[in-house]
Structure formats: C-alpha cells, structure tokens
Structure 1
Amino acid sequence: MATAKGGEKLDGGVLEHAVIAAQGWEGFTITTDDGHPATLAVVDERGQIIESGPELVSELWAVAVMSYRRFLIKEKALKVWSEPSGLFEERE
C-alpha cells in the first residue's frame, strides 16, 4: 500500500505510538506518531535501559544490512550480530 509520501506502508503493523521508516541511503528513522523525533532502546530483563540513542539505531542498521547482503549473495551466514567488540557473523 503506497503512502502519501511515496513510500510503502506495511500491512499489519503492530506499533501504537511510534513510526519506524527505513531508506537504503539513510538507515532507520524513528518518530512518534505525531512526527516528533524518537529513538530506540534496549531494555534488559530488569527494565534497565542498557543501550539507546543514535549509536544503537546505526548499529541495528549495520547488522540488518550485513545480514541482508549475505542473504542476497547466498552466503551461508547463519547469524549476524554486534557486541561491544564489533560486528560478527556465524557461518555454517
């Protein structure tokens, strides 16, 4: 389904208050439903925010792109992930 901004809206979205957009040259953009800037956070099992902000958004984008590139070129990387020491991928 096309949106007024010329993008494509996914059917069946589950978010109630946030808008997440992605463009290949820009990465993820996160806003509130009324258009104000927002960000992502990683929350541990105790409810503590352990990562947040633009660095998290950039790293999430890097992992997503690396995983998708591996898929496109049919490499057998089972998993791509990031941790404090860098980006990694697991192979068969």
Structure 2
Amino acid sequence: MTCDFVQIPGGGTAIVCSTRRRQRCACGRPATRLCDWKVASKKSGTCDVPLCSQCTTSPARDKDLCATHVAAYADWQAEHGIPQQQLELPA
C-alpha cells in the first residue's frame, strides 16, 4: 500500500492511500507523468510510459513524451514538412 500526504486548500493536510504500487520512471525515480504519444491500439489511447520530471520531453504545454516517442515526433515533423522545433530535452 502506498500513502501520500496531500495539501488541501485552506491549509489542511490529508493522507491518501491506495493499493496500487507507485509507478517509477525507467531511471528509477518516482513517475509524475505519463507519455502522451497517441497509440490507437491501447485502451487509454496514449503510450502511458511512466516518466519523471527529469526524463520527460515536452513538445507542447501539458504534453510529455518518452525518449522513443521524441524520435517518432521528429520523424512526424519531417514527414509533414514542419520545421523541427527545439524540444526541452532531459538533462
């Protein structure tokens, strides 16, 4: 069981527990994001690889990509004649 302390507006704190295991990024850090690349074959419709804030690449606001899909995004831009934008790559 994993438990987290959550700040409540107004200054309170709550403890939220679940039976689900905490997801980890491939680097071992706790995952706070999921890859948003569209994958039609998945029920969620997206890749959903767990990512930490240091391993994500963000091509747009509130969009995160795993390393595999950063390359796929660059290929997609090239196929559509879109100039490749500078992506915020993980350090």
Higher RCO (C-alpha under 8 Å, 6+ residues apart)? 2
What TM-score do the two structures reach when normalised by structure 2?
Answer: 0.25
Q: Which has the larger radius of gyration?
A: 2
More helix by share: 1
What TM-score do the two structures reach when normalised by structure 1?
Answer: 0.24
